[in-house]
Structure 1
Amino acid sequence: MRFLIQKLLTLTAFALPAFAAAENAQTAPADSSAPNAVTDSANYFQRFSAVPVLGYTEETQYQFGAMAIIFFKPSFEGGNASELDLSFYGTSRKQVTGSISPKFYLLDDQISGDIDIHYEDWVGNYFGNRNDPDIDNFRKFDRQTFYVQTLVETNYGTKRWLPDLRYGLFLELNHTYVDFSNYHYHGDIKLPENTNGWRNGIGYHLSIDTRDNTNWARHGYLVQWGHYFYNKGMGDFSYTHQELDVRGYSEFIWNTSMAVGFLWQRVDGDAPFDKLAGSDGLKRFRGVEKNYFYGNQAMFLQVEFRKKLFWRLAGDIFFEGGKTGDYFSDLMRNKWHRSIGFGGRFALNKKENLYARCELSWVDFKNVGMTMYVRDAF
């Protein structure tokens, strides 16, 4: 109960002023009652939004920093807006991270993509390669990571026949160094192999996307398949990553939108422990540390109900299930991790349906987790 009260106080003391700061970044129109005033909403396009990073998660404890998002006008009416995301924060666990992430749409949205340039000096916990970790039994480590990850997609050549189909190229350049030697440990978790070096990969990505919005979708579906190849000819590891991601969106009662998600991941080869399939703590199974449970394969099921309330406020409730295994038979036999939760949201850009969210989750009906993030989980 003490931990729950701590998180609720953190939510009140940190999340609300952080969200309120974003409102001041909204570009307000001129007095519309003045003569010859322009009333076209396109002229009120929001250029910028900023919000301090003041929050708490299981992995970071208290966070302190800032995030800014720069928006660029779509190339045509009804098109998608490109963005430039900038973020930097440190934590009370002596973690530091920063990223620059452009998200772009070119040639009347025929080409889309995102680039994530990311650095972190991180303190993390290693729970062992298994589906049933003990939350109180882990090995602490220091990790330094720098990576550039990009995915570029297009519907060139397919738009006429299959307008919702997109295909693209995935690329990752990643160097990571992990050090377990700075912390004493007296348990039974063995050190993982394959930790340090370059993890460079390339692959292909296919998607069918009928969503009405890429941030908060209320109609349509998204089906994605990714197959990525990491080879010692490009780095220090050889493994493959496969991923099937299926999401559906529809209207529900009382003007509520419902989102349903399914994700399956498989990793083959000598992948580092932090690149195996498993929970990420932010989008797939919220409220736990990244790779709290993981293995060579992972499966997640998610259901979420989202409701706009008033002004810039919205809320959600969700249910998530996830499990991992070394083989498909293990994956089927292993028990599900379950989580239920709820959260509040604040609109950083109402026109683009872009919301920051803060959520509490009850993990396996034993532990309470808290997550703060920009954009929806799925």
Structure 2
Amino acid sequence: MQKPLNEASLIIHFVLLFLVLLLISPQKAFSQEKSNLRFLTINVWSGLDYNGTFRMGEYESAERRKSRFLLLLEQIQKIKPDVIFLQEANPVARFADTLADSLDFDEIHQVCLAGIKFGPLGIPTNIKEGMSILARTSLNLEKFDLWKLSGSFGVYGDAVTIQFDESIFAVVGKITFQNTPIYLVNVHLVSSPPKDPYMASKFESLVKEEKISKDEYQNGIKIWELREKRRINEVKKLSKFISGLPSESPVIVAGDFNATPDSQVIQLFQSTSDPLKSFFDVYPFGTSGRLYSWNPRDNKNILFSSKKTDARGIPREGYDYLSALGAEIPRRIDYIFLSHHFNPENVLNCFIGLDSLVEGIQASDHYGVLAEVNFDSVLQTSPKEFKTVTPIDRSKIELFPILMYDTSTGFGYGAKIFYLNPLKWNESFDLVLFNSTKGEQWYRLTFSWPDFEQRQGKIYPLAFDLMIDYDKWIKNSFFGIGNNSEFEDREYYTREPFELCLTFSRGFSTYIVGQIGASYKTIGNYNFSEESRLENLQPELNHLRVKAASFFLNLRYDTRDSFVNPSSGLVLQGGAEIVPDTSLSNVAFTRLSIWLHHYYTLFYPKTVMAIRLGLQSLSGEDLPVQVLLPIGGNRTLRGFSQDRFLGKTSAVFNAELRFPLYWRLGGVIGFDAGKVWDSPNKIDLCRWATNPTVGLRLYMDTFVVRADIGFGKDTTGFFFNFGHIF
């Protein structure tokens, strides 16, 4: 028999390991010295005429398009911007990624115009146009939001696009400059010729000259007015969305507004009764130079837009003819706006550039607008956002009453209470009180310092979590051990677990977290049915109470944007739990685990693909069912009963498509798969248990309420719980 380890020695080793965890220096937050940033906005021109069902007309060859890109890159490298706003990039994902790689920048982007696409297949075949924001890697660019300003319902993403009309978006990013969050809004409003008496008179004269018919004229006027109204509504929506950004943080709005400085659109955007929501145009505070960002007098690419035929040589009619006339007029339609946090004195320079003509080629049909902005005064007055955990100045309590039905628990009732920061330590208390008609009694208290969400993606020297969990199942199911257990062999018994868990963790960087802790679990099995197989199953502990005092260690690489409700990021976690042979335990085993999670926003409306793959294995002799690895139930296979399969090695795969429905309510379509084995060397890909699942999510501020239905071979599972399953 194995000799019990000296308990004092175990405690000493655990304390020493914990001290090592504390003494390893975490990554220091990066500190930037310069206080100026350079912002560039440019519509890079798709080179398309936007006519065609299966393929848009193209004004240029692939070689010429590549030459334009290289010229754009060369000019950008010369002016050295820190942040770039791109519009009309096509295909946007490849364009933005190639430019970002060439500049060593980060990038975010959004497909805005693509027709119907499923991966590389779809029509029109040559368009996947959109907008992008690029920034130096030191600025930690991240995608913050996406606002739809006009257009009917559609799906917009790199992988899937389904749209039947022109849709207009604003892409919102966030950078962090000297620990100050700065919000970036990239805009490309709907286009139309200038709405002024000159253009109206010129268009009317086309009827007299018999270049267009009277019907074409009337239809063109109608489209013109509708597009002008649409752009006005877009800028109103834009202002409303911007007002929802954190009011104390600076905002920079840039892009192609398709409107002149004296237009109603620009006046609406800049005029407001609330000075704390105002923006100003940086161009008047720059150096003298070019007056127009759209100038057909010296931009050779505009010749294509002003031609009276499209890319295929087909004559333009009605409104399209009017658009060609409008393209002949020089004007300034590209802007960089600064929020009220800035003063004109912050603008060090602004000019219109990227206008080089090399061997008859120019980078775009627009010229770029570049502004250099000083942030000294802004940095002093704006809120900070550190890579380390910082104190929060508010307390918040959320109470959620529970009234539900679950396949395993029956009808249940209770409450969940989440209390954030009552002691002003950045801590949280999470309490669940629950009872059900099938006899589940679940009481759980979790204390976290700092709160999980507050420390997500942060550097911190020490975090502490205490969890007390009592989850008695008066009518628990046992089907047998192994993957071949039959549903018909189901028997019932009472399972009564209690767990006390202490975890210490450290954020070594914004992505790497180490955890070490101790746990005490006790699980009793009793109230067996007559002729119970479990009661007579060896070892004897199967029908007694298991006690397990363990130490565990986890290392996690975690790039999730949120702990509670992630929409992007990767998690790779490896862990080990050791239950040594001591007087505190009547079992001894080691559990090893590895988990991979991936979250990716597929398309707008914000639809997230979430994938999890996990593998766990136990090593130990004569292990009772209380400690075997279960799959089945609300956190693994939702089409199967709780703990449907038990084994010493288990694998689980879950995939979910999470999409919005209304307000805080979201939907889920998913797939679960899993299998157990007696040992790791028997792992295979045959006969995994699988089930599809659908569900609803209610997104609270500090937690997620989950209801799922899984459709399995033996039963349909209805499950209610808190938090995503991963």
**CA deviation string 1:198-218 (max 9, x = no partner):** 111002110011111011111
The structure whose residues are more often strand, as a share, is: 1
Matches within 5 A, 1:142-153: 142-153=494-505
Q: Structure 2: which 5+ residue stretches go unaligned?
A: 1-273, 277-381, 384-390
Counterparts in 2 of 1:142 and 1:269: CA distance versus 1, 3 Å: same
Match for residue 174 of structure 1? 521
Match for residue 511 of structure 2? 164
Match for residue 370 of structure 1? 718
Once the two structures are TM-superposed, the CA of residue 164 in structure 1 deviates from its matched residue by 1.5
Matches within 5 A, 1:1-378: 47-72=396-421, 82-105=427-450, 110=460, 111-123=462-474, 124-155=476-507, 158-159=508-509, 163-181=510-528, 183-185=529-531, 191-193=537-539, 194-195=541-542, 196-233=545-582, 234-254=584-604, 255-270=606-621, 271-279=623-631, 281-332=633-684, 334-349=686-701, 352=702, 354-364=703-713, 366-378=714-726
Structure 2 length normalisation: TM-score? 0.42
Counterparts in 2 of 1:211 and 1:186: CA distance versus 1, 3 Å: closer
Counterparts in 2 of 1:95 and 1:174: CA distance versus 1, 3 Å: same
* Bigger mean CA offset, 209-218 vs 105-114: 105-114
Q: What is the root-mean-square deviation of aligned Cα atoms in Å?
A: 3.1
- Work out the CA distance in 1 between the residues paired with 2:697 and 2:505: 29
Once the two structures are TM-superposed, the CA of residue 331 in structure 1 deviates from its matched residue by 2.8
Once the two structures are TM-superposed, the CA of residue 75 in structure 1 deviates from its matched residue by 8.6
Once the two structures are TM-superposed, the CA of residue 102 in structure 1 deviates from its matched residue by 1.6
Once the two structures are TM-superposed, the CA of residue 323 in structure 1 deviates from its matched residue by 0.4
Counterparts in 2 of 1:294 and 1:113: CA distance versus 1, 3 Å: farther
Q: Structure 1: which 5+ residue stretches go unaligned?
A: 1-34
* Bigger mean CA offset, 308-317 vs 218-227: 308-317
**1:185 alignment partner AA:** E
Counterparts in 2 of 1:287 and 1:49: CA distance versus 1, 3 Å: farther
Conserved 8 A contact 2:431-2:444: yes
Q: How many percent of aligned residue pairs carry the same amino acid? A: 18
Q: Give the aligned length.
A: 328
- Work out the CA distance in 1 between the residues paired with 2:532 and 2:431: 40
Counterparts in 2 of 1:290 and 1:172: CA distance versus 1, 3 Å: farther
SS, match of residue 684 in structure 2:
helix
Counterparts in 2 of 1:179 and 1:154: CA distance versus 1, 3 Å: same
| Structure ID, larger Rg | 2
Q: Which has the higher contact order (CA 8 A, sep 6+)?
A: 1
SS, match of residue 264 in structure 1:
strand
Structure 1 length normalisation: TM-score? 0.78
Conserved 8 A contact 1:312-1:347: yes
SS, match of residue 617 in structure 2:
strand
Greater than 4 Å deviation, 4+ residue runs: 40-46, 73-76, 106-109, 186-190
Conserved 8 A contact 1:131-1:334: no
Conserved 8 A contact 1:139-1:180: no
* Bigger mean CA offset, 55-64 vs 220-229: 55-64
**CA deviation string 1:285-313 (max 9, x = no partner):** 22433321121100111111111222111
**CA deviation string 1:4-31 (max 9, x = no partner):** xxxxxxxxxxxxxxxxxxxxxxxxxxxx
* Bigger mean CA offset, 166-175 vs 235-244: 166-175
Once the two structures are TM-superposed, the CA of residue 83 in structure 1 deviates from its matched residue by 2.6
- Work out the CA distance in 2 between the residues paired with 1:43 and 1:246: 31
Once the two structures are TM-superposed, the CA of residue 82 in structure 1 deviates from its matched residue by 4.1
